[in-house]
Amino acid sequence: MTKTILKSLCMKPATVKYPFGPREYHKRTRGKVFIDVDQCILCSLCQRKCPTGAIVVNRNDKTWEIDPYRCISCGACVEACPKKCLRLDNKYSKTSTKKEKELFRHA
């Protein structure tokens, strides 16, 4: 037991001092879904592949909408996109006090 205690005292802390130091995300962390609207062809494959129904594509209004609170960051939409205009960032969505959907308009 003494060996374990001495080893723990000599090691650096396993946690991060959160408010004082920024959070470092791993490369493969699945976070927020980003879209390059200018490249999107509004094919709605991402909408069909989304298991939670978080994405809504409206061809008539030329809009692409995602509900970040329904998204589980599985990456199915990213894999299904034929133009590769979707990507998963390695940072999470910012905290919010309201449930708002993100709406993007095609140019």
Domain ranges of the chain: 23-105
The confidence band for 15, taking pLDDT boundaries of 50, 70 and 90, is confident
**Contact criterion met (CB below 8 Å) for 78 and 32:** no
pTM: 0.72
Under the banding of pLDDT at 50, 70 and 90, the label for residue 41 is very high
Assign 3-class secondary structure to 52-80. CCCEEEECCCCEEEECCCCCCCCCHHHHH
- Mean pLDDT of the residues in the chain: 87
Pairing of strands 86-88, 63-66: unpaired
Residue indicated by tokens 């594509």: 57
* Fold annotation for 23-105: Alpha-Beta Plaits (3.30.70)
Q: Centre a 10 Å sphere on the Cβ of residue 88 and count the other Cβ atoms it contains.
A: 18
